[in-house]
Chains A and B, each alone.
Chain A
């Protein structure tokens, strides 16, 4: 039982390049989330999903897209990276309405855009 895993752990991009961050969970959770954390700040929600095939915008969605084609995976895409997207990205999941409500986080992906 690995919990929540993220790939890759580190990445450096040039401005304008694209990339996809992968989040996977093996707890059969319904809800999944992508957050970003900037220096000295708490976490801010980018996008989230309440089940397979669903996505919704969070607090800071601009410049990002997401997909939840399989229940266990939640992908975060950057189509044209900008220096303002330099941050640490965290994925999280929780069970849903009928199960344990506690939210669990992955180890994070550190992204630098030059």
Chain B
């Protein structure tokens, strides 16, 4: 199956700082989503981004499918951004219906 690597595994930021999270994947994809798992365990949809760039407030994401990576940018971080960020692509091969999750980047934003 498709392999997904996220970096860095852990990240500590001062409130107000910017960060970039990276997701590399091993095969061609027809879907990629970014999720935020908050400290209460809830999975929140951030972006559905199989290719191109999207922005939502302080967050933006870029996927370059031909080079097999995606980036999540967080600007002016806030303590509420803390949690784990997951990248989940879906392999584009025949018979593939599911997202495959990376191990996540754990972000801690300190005041």
Query: What is A's interface to B at a CB cutoff of 8 Å?
Result: 31, 33, 35, 40-45, 48, 50, 56, 58-59, 88, 90, 101-105, 107-108, 110
Contact = CB atoms under 8 A, between A and B. Distances in A.
Contacts of A43: 86, 88, 101
Contacts of B101: 35, 42-44
Contact of B97 (A40, A41, A48, A59): A48
Contacts of A42: 4, 86, 88, 101-104
B98 A40 contact: no
Interface string B69-101: 000000000000000001010000000011111
Interface of B: 1, 4, 31, 33, 35, 41-43, 45, 48, 86, 88, 97-104
B42 A107 contact: yes
